[in-house]
Amino acid sequence: MAFNFSLNAQHETEHATEHEVVVQHEEKSLKETIKENIQHHLKDSHDFVFFSDSETGKHYGFSLPVILWDDGLKLFSSSKFHHGESLAEVDGNFYKLYHNKIYKVDTEGTINYDEQHHPTNAKPLDFSITKGVFSIIILAAFMLWFFIGIAKSYVKNNGVPKGAAGFMEPIILYIRDEIAIPNIGEKHHARYMSYLLTVFFFVWFFNLIGLTPLGINVTGNIAITFGLAIITFLITQFTANANYWKHIFWMPGVPVPMKIILAPIELLGVIIKPFALMIRLYANISAGHIVLMSLIGLMFVFHNWLGSSLTFFLAFAISLIELLVALLQAYIFTMLSALYFGFAVEEHDDH
């Protein structure tokens, strides 16, 4: 009888161990899936997928045009890649989508690696209309239509803001009176207003769109924030007056030995300023998306109602904070851009 009890206990222990292994395997697979979904959301893609069915492997969305330059122009639909599952053959050449980058491969789709495990295959110049580029085109068209409509409503209503104009006017006046004029000055602020308004609403709208289930992450893409920072940098340098350059290379009122030491530091600061713009926006938006999607993923990891419920309310609270961050990051980017423009056109009275 004791022997039977021992056998039963051993059987129950083995069964419990097998159950724990299965649960751990399921959790591991689920965690890997959540991690892949987060990485997919953060990256750009050559097709626009609204959602996918993991059981059937189907993707619901639409393809985008792939534009390559490889000994001539290659134009085809991203549907040829079948979401990276097959090769695209164009004019006898084979291309493979690997980690959201397009490589030239052989008929087997072989990817060669170096010692650091980086692909060594040739990469054609990629001018494709990706999800990010497509989203920018759509938002640009919407902003043109929206703000032109607001301008026409002012003419129609004899300068009285009505409808959307009534909502947008306080925001536009705030950018002018609280950002542009204090940082640039009454004399020069007007010529920068078009850019400041454009970059503010561009960043704000895309920050809000990034919180939707559409999976659009434009301001969390470092290539986009780099482009915005470069535009601010170029406007600053090409509109700067002589005083700006004099205070960088030959600061008035400073001893000559100190001028020689400070000039490289000041010149380095010219480059660091747009770099800080780029990293600040990219890091804040990306971090917010990662935290929010991780919390949503935890709702499926917990196997009890208490953990899932608490995670849901925490994710909801973070979502509300992200709405504030979306506006705050647009404000900070616009304010710092105005500050740099103010440095460029500041007029000094040196004696």
pLDDT per position as a tens digit, 160-181:
888 888 889 999 999 999 999 9
pLDDT reading at 263 higher than 80 = no
pLDDT reading at 147 higher than 50: yes
Closest CA to 81 of 69, 65, 60: 65
Residue 54 pLDDT: 63
Residues 82 and 97: their CA atoms lie apart, in Å, by 9
What one-character DSSP code corresponds to residue 190?
Answer: G
Which position has the higher pLDDT, 248 or 217? 217
The answer, yes or no, to whether residue 126 has pLDDT greater than 70, is: yes
Handedness of CA 100, 106, 111, 112 (dihedral sign): negative
pLDDT at 5 over 80: no
- Asked whether the whole model's pTM tops 0.75, one would answer yes
CB atoms within 10 A of CB 45: 19
Per-residue tokens: 87? 């090769």
Kindly calculate the radius of gyration of the chain based on its CA atoms and give it in whole angstroms: 27
Instruction: Report the percent of the chain where pLDDT is more than 90.
Output: 30
The pLDDT, as a whole number, for residue 14 is 45
Q: How confident is the model at residue 51 (pLDDT cuts 50, 70, 90)?
A: low
Give the range among 13-27, 158-172, 261-275, 320-334 with minimum mean pLDDT. Answer: 13-27
| Span 10-28, average pLDDT | 45
Q: Is 304 helix (H, G, I), strand (E, B) or coil?
A: coil
**Helix, strand, or coil here: 14?**
helix
Which stretch of 72-76, 109-113, 253-257 has the lowest confidence by average pLDDT? 253-257
Q: Is 255 helix (H, G, I), strand (E, B) or coil?
A: coil
Give percent of the chain with pLDDT exceeding 70: 86
pLDDT at 337 over 90: yes
Instruction: Report the pLDDT averaged over residues 259-280.
Output: 84
What tokens does 74 get?
Answer: 């290659």
Q: How far apart are CA 41 and CA 276, in angstroms?
A: 24
11 pLDDT above the threshold of 60: no
- Range 215-219 average pLDDT: 86
| 59 has a pLDDT exceeding 50 | yes
Higher pLDDT, 22 or 60: 60
Residue 346: per-residue pLDDT: 81
Separation CA 195–CA 228 (nearest Å): 11
Instruction: Give me the pLDDT at residue 56, please.
Output: 66
Structure tokens at 99: 């980690």
Find the helix packing angle between 131-156 and 164-174, rounded to 10°. 100
CA 88 to chain centre: 28
Using DSSP, state whether 93 is helix, strand or coil.
strand
313 burial (CB, 10 Å; 0-12 / 13-18 / 19+) is exposed
